[in-house]
Amino acid sequence: NICRTNIKLSLAGGNTGSLYGRGVYCAESITKSDEYSHPDAAGEFAVLICRVLGGRVLYTDELEPDPEKLVSSCIEGPFDSVLGDREKCRGTYREFVFFD
């Protein structure tokens, strides 16, 4: 439960992969976020509505980005986050990724 225990980056990408690296993924579209929501015991789904600041954003519209390079550019380099523009390259949704 994220609200009780915080976000655990150690679990990032465990169920769905991590195209842009192991981090916290945010989306502009609830349709994208809904893909990752699962029902609880009562059959209810939940998502977090967050306002995030990207800082210096590393933009990529590559079909197959190099996640290690992206993470390194944020952890060790001049960037604070990644904007993966899947809307441009695949016609789906833009994703914003933050690393610890």
pLDDT of residue 58: 98
Q: Among residues 35, 26, 5, which one has the least CA distance to residue 97?
A: 26
Give the contacts of 73 (CB within 8 A, at least 6 positions apart): 58, 79, 82
Spans of the chain below 70 pLDDT:
1, 11-17
Q: How far apart are CA 76 and CA 17, in angstroms?
A: 22
What is the pLDDT, as a whole number, of residue 77? 94
Report the chain's mean pLDDT, rounded to a whole number.
Answer: 89
Cα–Cα distance, 44 to 37 (Å, whole number) = 9
Where are the chain's structural domains?
Answer: 2-11+19-98
Report pLDDT for 5.
79
